[in-house]
Amino acid sequence: MLIGNSSKRPDLKKIRHIKQDLFEILELPEDAIITITELACMEDSCAPFETVFGLFRTDLPQLQCKIHKSIKDISAQNLISVCSEWDFEVHISTLEPLFNSNHT
| Tens-digit pLDDT profile for residues 56-84 | 999 999 999 999 999 989 988 999 999 99
Distance CA 31, CA 33 (A): 6
**How many domains would you assign to the chain?**
1
pTM listed for this prediction: 0.81
The whole-angstrom distance between residue 38's C-alpha and the CA centroid of its chain comes to: 9
Domain holding 43, by residue range, is 2-102
Distance of CA 82 to the CA centre of its chain: 7
Residue 39 phi, psi dihedral angles, 5° rounding: -120, 140
Q: Give the whole-angstrom CA distance, residue 57 versus residue 88.
A: 14
